[in-house]
Amino acid sequence: MPSLYIDGAWTAGSGGVADVVNPFDGSVVETVDQAGPDDVERAVAAARAAFDTGPWRTTTVAERSALLHRVADLLQRDKERIAHTETLDTGKTLRESRIDVDDVTAVFRYYADLVAAQSAGRLVDTGQPAVVSRVVHEPVGVCVLITPWNYPLLQLSWKVAPALAAGNTCVIKPSEVTPLTSVQLVELLAEAGTPPGVVNILLGTGPAVGAPLTSHDDVDMVSFTGGLATGQAIIRASAATVKRVAVELGGKNPNLVFADADLEAAVDGALTAVFLHSGQVCSAGARLIVESSLHDEFVAELARRAELIRPGNGLTEDVEVGPLVSAAHLAKIEGFVESATAEGATLVTGGRRPDDPELAGGFFYLPTIFTDVRRDMRVVREETFGPILTVERFETEAEAIELGNDTEYGLSGGVWTSDAGRAERVSAALRHGTVWVNDFGPYLPGAEWGGFKRSGNGRELGPTGLAEYQEHKHIWHNT
């Protein structure tokens, strides 16, 4: 089947084809079509027409809500097929992929219910008996949704579910590295009854397909999740047409462990925080900051446990961690390890690819821990997006907070302590969009997700994640 979906029809496009690679062994999972410049024009025109003159904008909230619930039903019907594809495409374990499909289902249901419950408008007191003032929600228009490769299906759901709930039309541009489950989701959106032109998907690279979308005259909004440099380029590209731009970018997330923490839980949490999905998580707790008195004992236990993590084929049920997503990303991680070593950090464990010959064809890298790091080292400052944990020490609560905030990013942070007062003080002081206390990683469809500082300028999930896709119109009616 062709891979692009434009104006209600599957089409091959004019940009040639590209291979999608299985990170476990480097084999080709599928060869997919790529969009050319004319496909970009056709997709935007279809989304524009569906918004301006098509039936979508005049659908009732109840109809859109019912459609999103149908998509959720279809996701559950096809859960195993989609999870299997996500694992082939990203390398993550099947267990994680299944959780992703369940989470995506929950996001569709959440926005289906939220938009159904949203009031039709808000009355504002005018002080004049003859005047009725109302503020109503309207969709923004044509939304371009650009997503990264680490959580392809999940990140797309955070955008497409609220965008459709609000009545927008969309052009989706998934990562060229992992496009397959985004195509599957569009199949389900079509099956659920989305009218032609309302949802379109274009495959291809950022420069070839993403960039022309972000500067296009007929696009009203760009919602982007990905790296900082790309986000900056998108903000610049969209400036001339004054699009609404929401960017969710990277993180360098501190995980603070106080000596009064439950140590077993903190070790577990610190390992999951950074080694889940081989660290390819925007909110990964890659920067562990431990109270000095606990440091040596904590690091020894971390290393012992990190060496027990079982890498392998994500499709094998008891495997705990899969490979990195691509050969290029593996090379980037190797570069970070070299720079950390050259700058004087102490390698505690990992720092190399696994010996297992069965994993030699894939892009595997062992869980890696560095101590004796300084905050000016590249490995501490930059997002590695891989299985690398750096460990710093602190003496006082104030120092822990200062270290935790010493980053250009502000996506997430963790605090491990049994002192409730300290938990409150530290979580209030951390300049990050999500703070977990005695946990690391969970999120909820109903709780806003996003970054402070250079981690982004928008919010996904929660009511704000819907408001991002809505205009607020004031109607002043002098009766």
Sheet with 131-139: strands ordered across = 122-124, 131-139, 470-478
Q: Does 214 bind ligand NAD (CB under 6 A)?
A: yes
Rg (CA), the chain: 23
- 279 closest CA partner among 356, 363, 361, 359: 363
C-beta closer to ligand NAD: residue 266 or 284: 284
Kindly identify the residues of this chain, within the stretch 6-65, that bind ligand NAD according to CB under 6 A.
none
Which part of the chain contacts ligand NAD (CB under 6 A), choosing from 209-217, 259-267, 309-317, 371-379?
Answer: 209-217
Residues in contact with 296: Cβ distance below 8 Å, sequence separation at least 6, in sequence order: none
Which part of the chain contacts ligand NAD (CB under 6 A), choosing from 97-105, 223-231, 290-298, 399-407?
Answer: 223-231
Q: Does 206 bind ligand NAD (CB under 6 A)?
A: yes
Cα-based angle 322, 411, 86 (whole degrees, multiple of 5): 30
Kindly identify the residues of this chain, within the stretch 375-394, that bind ligand NAD according to CB under 6 A.
383, 385
C-beta closer to ligand NAD: residue 87 or 175: 175
C-beta closer to ligand NAD: residue 91 or 196: 91
Q: Does 184 bind ligand NAD (CB under 6 A)?
A: no
Residue nearest to ligand NAD (CB): 206
Residue where the block lists tokens 């077993």? 264
- List the one residue from 185, 379, 411, 430 that touches ligand NAD (CB under 6 A): 411
Is the CB of residue 44 less than 8 Å from the CB of residue 216? yes
- Residues in contact with ligand NAD, shown as a per-residue x/- string from 284 to 313 under the rule CB under 6 A: ------------------------------
- List the one residue from 211, 271, 340, 388 that touches ligand NAD (CB under 6 A): 211
Distance, CA of 373 to CA of 227 (rounded, Å): 24
- List the one residue from 173, 243, 277, 287 that touches ligand NAD (CB under 6 A): 173
Q: Does 409 bind ligand NAD (CB under 6 A)?
A: no
- What residues are annotated to the active site? 248
**Identity of residue 308:** L
What is the closest distance, in whole angstroms, from the C-beta atom of residue 330 to ligand NAD in the complex? 13
Distance, CA of 295 to CA of 371 (rounded, Å): 10
Which part of the chain contacts ligand NAD (CB under 6 A), choosing from 174-182, 259-267, 316-324, 356-364?
Answer: 174-182
Burial 298-336 (b: 16+ CB within 10 A, else e): bbebbbebbeebebbbbbeeebbbbbbbbeebbeebbeb
Which part of the chain contacts ligand NAD (CB under 6 A), choosing from 8-16, 128-136, 363-371, 448-456?
Answer: 448-456
Q: Does 85 bind ligand NAD (CB under 6 A)?
A: no
C-beta closer to ligand NAD: residue 218 or 372: 218
DSSP annotation of 447: S
C-beta closer to ligand NAD: residue 165 or 211: 211
- List the one residue from 23, 36, 148, 197 that touches ligand NAD (CB under 6 A): 148
Is the CB of residue 148 less than 8 Å from the CB of residue 277? no
Distance, CA of 180 to CA of 240 (rounded, Å): 32
- 380 closest CA partner among 469, 474, 255: 255
Distance, CA of 91 to CA of 363 (rounded, Å): 9
Q: Can you say whether residue 290 is alpha, beta or left, with left for phi > 0 and alpha for psi between -120 and 50 degrees?
A: beta
C-beta closer to ligand NAD: residue 133 or 205: 205
Contacting positions for ligand NAD (CB under 6 A): 146-151, 155, 173-176, 205-207, 210-211, 214, 225-227, 230, 233-234, 248-251, 282, 383, 385, 411, 451, 455-456
